Amino acid sequence: KHNEPTLTVQVSDLALTAFAVQESGGTVAVGTSDGCTSILHLSQGLSEAAPSEKSAISAMFEREQTREKNLEKAIKEAKVKARKEMARKDEVTDRVTEEQLRQLEDEFFKATGSSQALGTGASAADVGAD
């Protein structure tokens, strides 16, 4: 039950501004915004770890660490996929071979009546002058 409070205690009506725990964990000092300090003595159940608590916390941290690694991996894979998709889109424009390009140019020049279709490089005025 790491998402729910174990114990709720109203220490003051004012905002809590300071919190200190004794090294042994049995005593807690809480300071409020008006300068009052309350000292709380915790029960043994709250100040000492249960036998299985350490392994449960370790397992929870391991699951969280695995989840973070999986998220990082998914983000990395998404970036790689996006890069590949962009490269594939760029590749689509490069699929026309030189021969196909020459054929398309010849068809265009024939359709427009340009002299470049003849391969001479002469202008239409030069061709008409012959």
Sequence spans of domains, the chain: 1-46, 56-116
pLDDT digits (tens, 9 = 90+) for 39-48: 999 888 888 8
For tokens 């036998």, the residue is 51
Query: Could you give the CA distance from residue 11 to residue 17 in angstroms, rounded to a whole number?
Result: 12
pLDDT digits (tens, 9 = 90+) for 23-81: 888 899 999 999 999 999 988 888 888 888 889 889 999 999 999 999 999 999 999 99
Task: Please state whether the predicted TM-score (pTM) of the whole model is above 0.85.
Answer: no
Of 20, 23, 24, nearest in space to 39 by CA: 20
* Residue recorded with tokens 């998220």: 71
